[in-house]
Structure 1
């Protein structure tokens, strides 16, 4: 039996979809790579998402409408956003930075950064899907967004114009046309938009596992341990695992919402918080939706998947380790019944933590604490969509090469306001 390696070209910390995609890209480029995470591969937020490759989703949560709707968001039981007041009071600077990024000029700058990154999303993910023989998990049937009220649809006109200006293809639909695309909807929308190039994943967890399997076949090593600290030792970076440390020429910190808990990586100095998301699964109702459906006023997605019908979304600003909030699950179930008619009790529920910075942009690039440590976290609602292009950028940086797209706006050294 061969002795396990203790030194690698690259160590990837975090086995969510972003970490696994980064590991596979680097391994495909011929590097020796270790992927380290105490949790099972893909078991966190990567498994509980809305299943959608949302290449059209360039408009951030930071939107000027937040100011006008803030009382409703904070105090209504019917709001898609929930806030833990205790958590907000413990992190007032983060909340102030989030609101500052909702100004019209900042929101548009953020949208432009996201649009530029999303334009490369498919090119980053498709080679990994092909390498992992995961084409059977990808459904190319577009995505439908609906508004129940004409007032809400009119309020989003500027956002649609921005998407069109970025070259994102979509078709505007009447309420009748939208309902004809999804005849199981319990109400006829006032308006709809169809994104024909959007795709969705039948099983996000299985996709991450397939990518990991290919990584392993190519010689990648996986270590199921917790990383407590990273230390730049000059010629290498030491990855502290307790009694069995490993070293690497470079380390990628891709631990999502947990990245700031690892000492020495630089993330502990960044305003990284969580947007907690929830989902419900109805295993016998997968036929209700023909494609992912986003209901704007409801603040959630419905997606048909291998496990059934998944209702996923909403935003809860709360601590990383706070218990599951049953009111969020009740909200999704209640709104799901408005969208699809009477629903049975869900067969499964889930809560996960999206890694979020106050400007809704990920951090991708060198850590301020060490040029040998690369950050790749903070993808908020777009981890699945952006995993492939993030991994490709990471592989370029590991090789000391300039990526083929500008990433200066994603730097950990940005102001975050």
Structure 2
């Protein structure tokens, strides 16, 4: 049987920061590349992020303290965690796997794997930023974490020790040090950490849009259409779009975030991909209140100065990905932002996004269990913007039959099968 000729070298499914990074790297390397997404580039989870390039974020959401803090997190009105019990009962396997990965020995392994990957962040992002002419969107002014209580800070000592073990550089700051850096903070301050060399993006969607423009300038193709399924064989992958179109490529990269397990035939449909729903609110006229991203540890969110104003981004809602917008989460962010900065009025915008999350807090990056011609790259939870560039580079390596430039064994899809 003669197979149809491949029309593309690589089809990328999903145009967030991970997918667009993969597409731009591939097109830059001379691969004929198509990227498919029914939505505009960067308009999903990338758009609503906290805007940080969080090279220090090697501490997983999984944590041994979850066993003692969970009752408070689930019942307190002032908790950054919202949990839908019915959703949890419908997904007991995922919940139990998450808790199993909260064991101290496992958390240490996860932190080491994330730390290793995070060391390649700048090498993955910087070539894309330069290629897209997006240097003006980057601010190099560190990132600040603050704790309001001694108890909260003492509870984070093990996590901060793990950061140091992974080579993360930070200065420990007193209350006065924190106020000297960010004098507009009004919540109680016990102490803080300043992560040296950290940076943030003033407009993450604009970053992806510029990458997209450069991708097309290099000859890449973008289709505003969803993918229904794919079928791999010895010579390539046939991709079936939702409008009935069939396309053929040598390789396919699945980078569709929380929707990745909806693509039939990819191998992703058998993986335990979950969703951490996150929210942000925006105060358009208050971007000058801070000079860098400030994370309030106990409250579970960042305040970030960006092109559109002051973004308050964070919280975790465990719920079905298509559940209704939960105003309790944005009300919480508004209350806490007023504690942080005083009465700054009502927010001008509110947003809900979906962080793709595996139960071990590690992304899936590597060949699909279905076929080596399909690469899975999703599940970056809170650090997709940070790891988008390095993941895109890995995807391009695999599409060209090259060994990735860094070890990805810990992120293999096969760890779940």
Q: Deviations over 1:296-323 (max 9, x none)?
A: 0000000000000000001011111111
- Aligned residue in 1 for 2:369: 368
- Aligned residue in 2 for 1:198: 198
- Aligned residue in 1 for 2:176: 176
Q: Aligned partners of 1:233, 1:376: CA distance in 2, in Å? A: 20
Instruction: Name the count of aligned residue pairs.
Output: 412
Contact kept, 8 Å, 1:230 with 1:240, in 2: the verdict is yes
Contact kept, 8 Å, 1:6 with 1:245, in 2: the verdict is no
Q: Aligned partners of 1:76, 1:265: CA distance in 2, in Å? A: 40
- Aligned residue in 2 for 1:48: 48
Q: Aligned partners of 1:287, 1:350: CA distance in 2, in Å? A: 21
Return the offset for 1:155.
1.2
- Aligned residue in 2 for 1:161: 161
- Aligned residue in 2 for 1:349: 350
- Aligned residue in 1 for 2:403: 402
Q: Deviations over 1:92-121 (max 9, x none)?
A: 010000011011011111000000000001
Q: Deviations over 1:367-389 (max 9, x none)?
A: 00111100000000000000000
| Residue range with higher mean Cα deviation, 151-160 or 217-226 | 151-160
TM-score between both structures, scaled by the size of structure 2: 0.97
Q: How does 1:183-332 map to 2 (within 5 A)?
A: 183-241=183-241, 242-332=243-333
Return the offset for 1:21.
0.4
- Aligned residue in 2 for 1:337: 338
- Aligned alpha-carbon RMSD (Å): 1.1
Aligned-partner SS, 1:126 = helix
- Aligned residue in 2 for 1:136: 136
Q: Aligned partners of 1:196, 1:165: CA distance in 2, in Å? A: 15
Q: Aligned partners of 1:176, 1:189: CA distance in 2, in Å? A: 9
Return the offset for 1:415.
3.6
Q: Aligned partners of 1:217, 1:300: CA distance in 2, in Å? A: 37
Q: Aligned partners of 1:105, 1:206: CA distance in 2, in Å? A: 40
Return the offset for 1:340.
1.1
Return the offset for 1:233.
3.4
Q: Aligned partners of 1:325, 1:180: CA distance in 2, in Å? A: 36
Q: Aligned partners of 1:74, 1:93: CA distance in 2, in Å? A: 19
Q: Runs (4+) of structure 1 moved beyond 6 Å?
A: none
Aligned-partner SS, 2:354 = strand
Q: Aligned partners of 2:122, 2:70: CA distance in 1, in Å? A: 35
Return the offset for 1:243.
2.6
Return the offset for 1:163.
1.2
Return the offset for 1:6.
7.4
Tell me whether 1:67 sits opposite 2:67 in the alignment: yes
Q: Aligned partners of 1:282, 1:243: CA distance in 2, in Å? A: 43
Alpha-carbon distance change, 143 to 171 in structure 1, aligned in 2, over 3 angstroms: same
Gaps of 5+ in 1: none
Contact kept, 8 Å, 2:271 with 2:416, in 1: the verdict is no
Return the offset for 1:343.
2.1
| Residue range with higher mean Cα deviation, 151-160 or 92-101 | 151-160
TM-score between both structures, scaled by the size of structure 1: 0.97
Aligned-partner SS, 2:303 = strand
Q: Aligned partners of 1:363, 1:20: CA distance in 2, in Å? A: 17
Q: Aligned partners of 1:319, 1:254: CA distance in 2, in Å? A: 20
Alpha-carbon distance change, 188 to 320 in structure 1, aligned in 2, over 3 angstroms: closer
